[in-house]
Amino acid sequence: EIVLTQSPGTLSLSPGERATLSCRASESVTSRYLAWYQQKVGQAPRLLIFDASSRATGIPDRFSGSGSGTDFTLTISRLEPEDFAVYYCQQYGRSPYTFGQGTKLEI
């Protein structure tokens, strides 16, 4: 199975700053089938980015995704207070569809 490794494990930033989250795959992700999800405490995950760089419906344009092959990045251009959460990457190109271990974005 494809193992996804996210870094850093925890990212401490302030509102207004730029956040860069990394997701590295153990092998190439088919057709850039890589998604990013945001999860707040007590809530279900929410899809932010799919196909590596496409924003899901209703997602603000401060969220952007990039990358291909084995290296992917989620960037939040200017952090808002509601952005502090845990972020997961997921590959859905090859079953089993694995998730990274998560990056906690904290104030």
For other proteins, the binding residues (CB under 8 A) are 30, 33, 35, 37, 44-47, 50-51, 56-58, 88, 90, 92-102
14 versus 57: smaller Cβ distance to other proteins: 57
C-alpha to C-alpha distance for 4 and 40, rounded to whole angstroms: 21
Closest distance of CB 86 from other proteins, Å: 9
55 versus 62: smaller Cβ distance to other proteins: 55
Closest distance of CB 44 from other proteins, Å: 4
54 versus 77: smaller Cβ distance to other proteins: 54
Q: How many CA atoms lie within 13 A of 94 on its CB side?
A: 12
